[in-house]
Each structure stands twice: as structure tokens, then as C-alpha cells.
Amino acid sequence: MRNRFDKQLAKLNDELIEMGSMIEQSIENTIGAMVRQDVDLAKAAIAADEDIDTQEKKIESLCLKLLLQQQPVAKDLRLISSALKMLTDMERIGDHDVDISEITIMLADQPYIKKLEHIQQMAKETTLMVVGSIDAFVNKNLEQARKVIEQDDIVDDLFIKVKDEIVALIREDASNGEQATDLLMAAKYFERIGDHAVNISEWVIFSIEGKHTNVHSQM
């Protein structure tokens, strides 16, 4: 009985890794489309969200099957419950990729008013956070989960830089306002992706220690 349960848990880990890879690719396509103003790639990133949603439902079904058939208790119950909680954040990350890609499409026919270097850095950092948080769950790695939470400060600092730059651009020329707002929203979505990676890491810690601490509620 336990052997079967362990095999199902291994399958759960594999499916979560697969969903993480899909999200990683989605973020990569999203920022690539934005930087190059590639409408086709942006549309591909939007279309990929359906695959992420399908994977979410697949994992959710597996978790519910584990809960109903195996009736886990204690640490096993925390593990599966945490996976279900993580799924919500993972799905939201896919939604934010769609939001950013839609902004890319809106801005595709106009030159950018600023370089996107800090937004690119945000995309890089949030990708590392998402992948790291899922790896932490699969490997039951507390240290890695906590590292992801600490990494969120880097993303927040980058967002402040983007915001300050955009405010300065609007002050210089009010006609920059509309695009500046769109770029700020794109940066905000990346910042939110980082927040979701933090949420995932918090559930990783809960699955291991049985204690859930909400970092953002303490800020």
C-alpha cells in the first residue's frame, strides 16, 4: 500500500516539474516577445496558457485522488495539501504571463520610451524563483525555499527602479504617460510572479515543518 502511495507521490513530483518547465518557457517567451516586440511570440505565450491550465487540472485531479484513495495523515497530508495550494499560485503565474504578452501586443507598433533592462532582470530573477520554489518542494529542501523568499527583495528593488524611471519619464514629457503606464504594469506583473514564487516556497516550508508563515503579511 505504501509502495503504491510513494509511486503516486513520485508522479505528483514529476507533473509539478513538468508544469514548472512549462511556466519557465512561458516566462522566457513572454519577456523575449516584449524585448523584441514580437507579436507572434507574444500570441504563442498567450496560447500556451491553455496547456498550463490543463496541466493544473491534471495535477489537481491527481492530488484529489491521493486524498480520497490513500487518506493520508500527518506529513503526507501536509504534502498533498501544499501541492494543491501551490497549484493556485502556479496557475496565476501563467495568467500574469498572458497579461504581459497582451501589453506587448498593444505596444508592438511604437518604439519604447525606455530600455527594458530592469524589466528583463526582473524576468530572469522571477524565473529563477519559480523554478527554485518547485525544486524545493520536490527535493524537500528548506534552505532552497528560504533562499527563494530572500530573493524576492531583488525583484522588489528592481520594480522600484522601474517605477522611479517611469515617473521621471512622465515628468519630462506627459505624452509618455500612456506607454509608461503599460510598462509599469508589465513590471508589476513580474513583481507579482515573484510574490507567487514566495507563496509556493511558504507552502514548501509548511509541507516540511507544519508551520505556515505569510511573508507578505509581515511586511
Q: In the structure grid, which three cell numbers stand for residue 12, read together?
A: 505528483
AA letter at 13: N
Q: What is the pLDDT of residue 206?
A: 95
Does the predicted model carry a pTM greater than 0.75? yes
Q: Alpha-carbon distance 190 to 5, whole Å? A: 37
Q: Alpha-carbon distance 122 to 27, whole Å? A: 11
Q: What is the pLDDT of residue 219?
A: 46
Q: What is the pLDDT of residue 1?
A: 58
Q: What is the pLDDT of residue 216?
A: 58
Q: What residues in the chain have per-residue pLDDT under 50? A: 218-219
HSE on the CB side for 144, CA within 13 Å? Answer: 17
**Domains of the chain by range and CATH?**
2-218 (1.20.58.220)
Which has the closest alpha carbon to 98: 27, 24, 192, 198? Answer: 27
